[in-house]
Amino acid sequence: MSTFIPSAPEIERKWFVVDASGKTLGRLATETASILAGKRNPRYVPYIDTGDHVIVLNAEKVRLTGLKSEKKVYRRYTGFPGGLREESFLRLLARRPEKVIEEAVFGMLPKTKMGRQMGTKLKVYRGDKHPHQAQQPQVLEIDTDLGKKA
C-alpha cells in the first residue's frame, strides 16, 4: 500500500467563519493558522497547501490578557535611515483592527512562498458583516479559554 498524496484538483477547500468578540488574540491566531495551514485536514501534507479559508469577524473586539494591551508595540521599518516606526496595540486596534489579527496569524505561518499563499486565504473584517455568503461558510467555534474553570 502506498502513501496517498493529494494533487491540486483533489483538494477541496472549505470556508469557516470565526467570531473574534471577546476571544484572546494568541489563541484565536493559533487556531486560525492551523486551519489555514491545513493541519486539521486528514489529507494534510507538509509540502502542499491543503488549508481552508477563514473569515474572522468583529476584529475590533479581540482582547489581550494581563498588561499586554498597554505594553505591546508593533514595529516596522520604512527602509530609510531612522525609519523605524512604532505603534502601540491600542492605537493600532482603534485605527486598523484587521491588521492586529493579520499580524498575529501571519507570524504563525511559514515564512515561505507557501506560507504567503496560505495567508491569502485569511479574510478579516471589523463588524459582523462579510461579502462571502456565496461560499456558504460554516461557523467555527474556537474555545480560547483553555484551562479555565467556570
- Residue 71 domain-assigned? no
pLDDT recorded at residue 59: 97
Q: Is residue 73 part of a domain?
A: no
- Ramachandran class of 52: left when φ > 0, alpha when ψ lies in -120 to 50, beta otherwise: beta
Residue recorded with cell 498575529: 104
Min mean pLDDT across 14-18, 19-23, 78-82, 142-146 is at 142-146
- Is 109 inside any structural domain? yes
Per the domain annotation, does 83 fall within a domain?
no
98 close to 125: Cβ distance less than 8 angstroms: yes
**Does a structural domain hold residue 8?**
no
Q: Would you say residue 87 has pLDDT above 60?
A: yes
Domain that holds residue 37: 14-63+95-139
| pTM attached to this predicted model | 0.90
pLDDT tens for 43-57 read 899 999 999 999 999
Whether the CA torsion 66, 91, 141, 15 is positive or negative: it is negative
- Compute CA distances 3 → 15, 43, 47, 126, whole Å: 27, 11, 14, 42
Q: Which positions ≥6 away from 109 have C-beta within 8 Å? A: 33, 36, 37, 115, 116, 118, 119
What's the chain's length in residues? 150
> How many domains would you assign to the chain?
1
Q: CATH number, domain at 53? A: 3.90.1180.10
